[in-house]
Structure 1
Amino acid sequence: MDSIEVVLVMLLAVVASAYLSRFLPRAVPLPLVQIALGALIAAKSTRGVDLEPDLFFLVFLPPLLFLDGWRIPKSGLLRDKGTILELALGLVVFTVIGAGFMIHWLIPAMPLPVAFALAAIISPTDPIAVSSIAATTPIPKRLMHILEGESLLNDASGLVCFRFAVAAALTGAFSVSTAALTFVWLVAAGIGAGVAVTLLVSRLQYWLSRHYGEPTGSPILVSLLLPFGAYLVAERLHASGILAAVAAGVTMSYVELSGHTLANTRIQRSAVWDTVQFALNGIMFVLLGEQLPDIFRDASATIEESGHLNPWWLAVYAVAINIGLLALRMLWVWASLRLTIYKQKIRNQPRMKINPRLLLATTLAGARGAITLAGVLTLPLAMPNGAPFPARALTIFLACSVILISLLTASLGLPRLLAGMTFPASPEEQQEEDLARRTAANAAIAATERAQIALMEAESCVDPEVYPQAAARIIAFYEHKLREVDPDAGAAWRKTDHAEKELRLAALTAERQTIYELARGDHISDEISRKLVREIDLMEARYR
């Protein structure tokens, strides 16, 4: 198949995976289905995909990380910033050191710098894999926010450690001071580039829209190009393009609070980004599955590199490395929790208790994914003297094995581990939502009253009698919303609201079906039917 045909087939595989996952048990996450379909494509295709890691990083990671940074709850990031940084920085370094020595001890034929490189590239968790697994598993919201924040930030630290380990393997030299300074520059310049590009583009776009209007589709295209711009600027500065994309997304969430974007643009932009996220997430894992047969086909070479002749040693190594990663992660998470409890004791704060099931869940949730695959494929083919890079095929094989086993472990272990546990909604979240609804409704009522008076007194007013009636209807609507969040009658009004929602959905379904019947009978034009159906769809989206 030609390259374009392969891409189209992969997109069809992404679509098919969404339907196949409906027939499979909930414990089987979507990424595993997509990996299996990718392997099937590789088996049926005579021409594989030559995966260029640099192109992979540029095409796939910036928009996905940008969107994750855009949509992740910022209050959770700020509240648990200490825990997230401990996992994103401290755990990565701890894993690189611990797993590096363990891998070298398991496979003496693999040089220590190469073992550290393998440990570094398998240390960061994957945000796409974590969110895909969480979609079918009841993980507490706060824990999910911590896991998402960790997976967004630990890519840079893992890739930096990987870069220095590879440099040490090529040159035989390593400088702690140089590595520390480089890491600071990568992080600071990467975050700065993402923030600066987002603010600059957003202000320029707002200025153009205010003076010349907002062309249809232009803001959406700008938002799609923004993560690539931030990534490329950071890479030109020799900083972390990944952190730049994440920082651009976080900054975009604050820029959006200005409220300058049109409502119609927000609706269309959300739909476009949902489609982009679904397609890119799927293709990443389909590509991983497509690459696996070639990687496993090279296993015969990895056997000799490992110093053994029995191919089962490869499986032993893969399982042992995964067990080691889980043990290191559990040890770090437990120590972090103990440190938090100790701080609470010193500050005379209420001390939390360590839940063993949540401790294990945090350990299992550290799934690896596409970043590990793309990173390990950047290993050089040869040393400076022309000799082959030591244990390159073995390193790639073990990294891919870690991806598969970590996905399987998380997808099979988490549902069973958390089965039967209930996580009540945070009362703070409900209080914040009620506060927002109450304040917004009061502001809307006040604005309606002011607008009614201004419109009745305007010279262009033809019939002032219509405004009090219209205002009364609008104020009644917002008073109903206020009663829904009334502290004394909130529960009763929420039950009534639920009943009203069901009735409105039934009415909207009948309304839409009638419009379709009128269009099929040529009683109304297609243009009119599309316009009315869109209005009904937006109303239904509100109630759903």
Structure 2
Amino acid sequence: MQTVITVLVLLLVVAVSSTAIRIIPFAVPLPLVQIALGALLAAPSLGLHVTFVPEVFLLLFIPPLLFADGWRMPKRELVHYRGPILLLALGLVFFTVAGLGYFIDWLVPAIPLSVAFALAAVLSPTDAVALSGIVPRGRMPQQLKHILEGEALLNDASGLVAFKFAVAATLTGVFSFWSASSSFFVVSLGGVVLGIAITWPFNWLRQRIARLSEDDDPGVQIILITLLPFAAYILAEHIGVSGILAAVAAGMAMNFTTDLGSESIATRMRGASVWAMIEMIFNGFVFILLGLQFPSIIGRALVDAHNLQDGELGALVTNVLAVYAALIGLRMVWVWLLRWVSSRRIAGQGVNSALPGFRIAAITSLAGVRGAITLAAVLSVPLTMLDGSPFPARDLIVFIAAGVIICSLLVATVGLPLLLRQSKDVGQEHEKREEREARTAIANAALTAIEIECQAMTHDGGRDDAEVVSEIARQVALVYQRPLHSESDDLLEEGSARRRAENAASIARHLHVTALRAERAELFRRRASNVINDETLTRLLRETDLAESAVLSRGGKSHAAEKKL
């Protein structure tokens, strides 16, 4: 009963936090509000206690969230920006582990070098979920947004693998660079291969099940898709490869292999709603649980500090600030070097003014906020060594990691809006132009389809309402010459007799559906040729699906009428 009550309370807090950010007169990121509410729930007077089990946390919350991010990541941008994404997700992680590890060992001598490397490894992954809660939609330049999302998808695995090797080195006292490198390659590549491999037969099975159901029950399809990230994660962890990369790869493989044109409208629409709800609830749970852990983390660190820092709270806070400053500094250096190398390459092509911009480097550095993966990983550090002695400085590194998470959220909350205030997003203008061109193209496709279908219907020798068909086709075509889809109520007023009115409505529905399906086909064609990206496709496809659902829902005999036509 206590578990049920706890889950219901957490659900309520997720809803309250989402409402609170709209009531608060100043801008506050949702993750910070949820962390604060979680910390309040940890008060002894409320009696809410949640034991944080990192393995369970990683299994329940991380796979579906990373799967959804991988599924939503635009394919075109992922391929186009693969170079910067890999350099940040792999190169920056190892650069951070090495540089920050030695810095922590120098800053806090009580932390052994291998433990310092473990702390640096858990601090290297960034959190795109937390970033999306800080930066409003449309404020982050599109190019940078796609790069940061791709980085966050991949650096979780590289950071966690480096963390596991550092912890193993601490426990055993043995570390081999070549063994760690080969193991990292096998674990990472194995996770990617498994995620892709499990998605192909899954999609085949899902399509076979869909064919067995005459009405293409969307509930079955949605349940199967929801289970996929968990299956990929569990199977990968069972055979010893990266479960996180398997979940990410499964999401990306769904993006590449799913034929949206073969899915029913109900499956697409209900699936989008279900996944939006899952992401809202799970993201909320992640940050509320993070807040619930803070009181105990601070308490244990203060007790441990009596031996490590002479009981001085100021020294603990100073260590957190110094580690965060070093983390940002290393990230800025790496980003600056990448931009400098890129500018030199461009300058070699004749562009004399190609210089790396400090503001973009600063935005990229502050946008690397830390979140759930960092906390889950650091809390998974063993309590004891193999001989039963306490793990060295465990409570201290947990406190530093939690403090860096808060610092990264606070600094990004204040700094990013200032840096983005005068940012002109060329990518967003390109996306808007891309959407306008797509709207024009699909409207033209709809008008062409209406004209062809009208000609086919009026040339049918068995019809005695050719004039009515032509008039209705003309009125339907007017709808697609307007900026937004709206079905004209005048279509239902054709004819005075009941049968004539029903026939006119059926014809109108049929022509509307024909036009909308032509729009959808044009969207798929433009996406297949990379004229538009997945985000534009998803946005316009949803509008088309909603319009077709509205048309088909008018009258209980719409499907039968279509068959007769």
Residue aligned with 1:116, SS: helix
Aligned mates of 1:163, 1:204 — CA distance in 2: 35
Deviation at 1:251, TM superposition (A): 1.9
Which residue identity is paired with 1:101?
Answer: Y
How is 1:140-539 mapped onto 2 (pairs within 5 angstroms)? 140-213=141-214, 214-348=216-350, 352-424=354-426, 426-456=428-458, 461=463, 463-478=465-480, 480=481, 497=483, 538=546
Deviation at 1:188, TM superposition (A): 1.5
C-alpha contact (below 8 Å) 1:58/1:231 kept by paired residues: yes
C-alpha contact (below 8 Å) 2:143/2:427 kept by paired residues: no
Deviates more, 1:37-46 or 1:326-335: 37-46
Residue aligned with 1:217, SS: helix
C-alpha contact (below 8 Å) 1:168/1:174 kept by paired residues: yes
Residue aligned with 1:309, SS: coil
Unaligned runs of 5+ in 2: 490-542, 551-565
1:9 corresponds to: 9
Deviation digits for residues 483-510 of structure 1, max 9, x if unmatched? xxxxxxxxxxxxxx4xx79xx79x9xxx
Deviation digits for residues 11-58 of structure 1, max 9, x if unmatched? 111111112112335542110100010011110433511111111011
Deviation digits for residues 194-247 of structure 1, max 9, x if unmatched? 222222111211122224331241111122112111212222221111111112
Aligned mates of 2:26, 2:462 — CA distance in 1: 61
Which residue identity is paired with 1:267?
Answer: M
Unaligned runs of 5+ in 1: 482-496, 508-534
C-alpha contact (below 8 Å) 2:340/2:355 kept by paired residues: no
TM-score normalised per structure 1: 0.85
Change (3 A) 1:32 1:431: closer
C-alpha contact (below 8 Å) 1:109/1:306 kept by paired residues: yes
1:19 corresponds to: 19
C-alpha contact (below 8 Å) 1:27/1:412 kept by paired residues: no
1:86 corresponds to: 87
Deviation at 1:145, TM superposition (A): 1.2
2:74 corresponds to: 73
Which residue identity is paired with 1:93?
Answer: F
Change (3 A) 1:334 1:425: closer
2:132 corresponds to: 131
Deviates more, 1:278-287 or 1:74-83: 74-83
Aligned mates of 2:173, 2:333 — CA distance in 1: 31
Aligned mates of 1:341, 1:268 — CA distance in 2: 46
1:510 corresponds to: none
Deviation at 1:190, TM superposition (A): 1.2
Deviation digits for residues 166-196 of structure 1, max 9, x if unmatched? 0100111111121112111222221122222
Number of residues paired by the alignment? 493
Deviation at 1:540, TM superposition (A): 13
Change (3 A) 1:136 1:454: closer
Residue aligned with 1:149, SS: helix
Change (3 A) 1:462 1:272: farther
Which residue identity is paired with 1:140?
Answer: P
Deviates more, 1:422-431 or 1:76-85: 422-431
Aligned mates of 2:285, 2:60 — CA distance in 1: 11
Which residue identity is paired with 1:143?
Answer: L
2:34 corresponds to: 34
C-alpha contact (below 8 Å) 1:198/1:251 kept by paired residues: yes
C-alpha contact (below 8 Å) 2:210/2:221 kept by paired residues: no
Change (3 A) 1:204 1:540: closer
Change (3 A) 1:305 1:201: farther
Aligned mates of 2:259, 2:7 — CA distance in 1: 37
Change (3 A) 1:427 1:403: closer
Deviation at 1:425, TM superposition (A): 5.3
Which residue identity is paired with 1:311?
Answer: L
C-alpha contact (below 8 Å) 1:228/1:245 kept by paired residues: yes
Aligned mates of 2:320, 2:460 — CA distance in 1: 77
Aligned mates of 2:138, 2:430 — CA distance in 1: 23
Aligned mates of 2:400, 2:433 — CA distance in 1: 48
Deviates more, 1:300-309 or 1:65-74: 300-309
TM-score normalised per structure 2: 0.82
Aligned mates of 1:20, 1:347 — CA distance in 2: 52
Provide the alpha-carbon RMSD of the alignment.
Answer: 2.6
Deviation digits for residues 402-434 of structure 1, max 9, x if unmatched? 111111111111112322434355454344334
Which residue identity is paired with 2:124?
Answer: S
Which residue identity is paired with 2:376?
Answer: A
C-alpha contact (below 8 Å) 1:28/1:412 kept by paired residues: no
Change (3 A) 1:247 1:305: farther
Aligned mates of 2:82, 2:417 — CA distance in 1: 27
C-alpha contact (below 8 Å) 2:141/2:428 kept by paired residues: no
Deviation digits for residues 498-525 of structure 1, max 9, x if unmatched? xx79xx79x9xxxxxxxxxxxxxxxxxx
Aligned mates of 1:104, 1:472 — CA distance in 2: 76
Residue aligned with 2:125, SS: coil
Deviates more, 1:197-206 or 1:9-18: 197-206
Residue aligned with 1:135, SS: coil
Which residue identity is paired with 2:341?
Answer: L
Deviation at 1:358, TM superposition (A): 2.0
Deviates more, 1:383-392 or 1:468-477: 468-477
2:510 corresponds to: none
Which residue identity is paired with 2:386?
Answer: P
Residue aligned with 1:298, SS: helix
Aligned mates of 1:243, 1:350 — CA distance in 2: 40
Deviation at 1:137, TM superposition (A): 8.0
Deviation at 1:382, TM superposition (A): 1.2
Aligned mates of 1:220, 1:432 — CA distance in 2: 30
Deviation at 1:106, TM superposition (A): 0.9
Deviation at 1:453, TM superposition (A): 4.0
Aligned mates of 2:27, 2:117 — CA distance in 1: 33
Which residue identity is paired with 1:392?
Answer: R
Change (3 A) 1:303 1:247: same
Deviates more, 1:281-290 or 1:431-440: 431-440
Aligned mates of 1:262, 1:152 — CA distance in 2: 29
Residue aligned with 2:409, SS: helix
Residue aligned with 1:259, SS: helix
C-alpha contact (below 8 Å) 2:458/2:470 kept by paired residues: no
Which residue identity is paired with 1:339?
Answer: V
Deviation at 1:131, TM superposition (A): 1.5
Aligned mates of 1:343, 1:36 — CA distance in 2: 46
C-alpha contact (below 8 Å) 2:135/2:417 kept by paired residues: no
C-alpha contact (below 8 Å) 1:130/1:147 kept by paired residues: no
Which residue identity is paired with 2:149?
Answer: E
Aligned mates of 1:350, 1:476 — CA distance in 2: 52
Aligned mates of 1:263, 1:436 — CA distance in 2: 20
Deviation at 1:442, TM superposition (A): 3.5
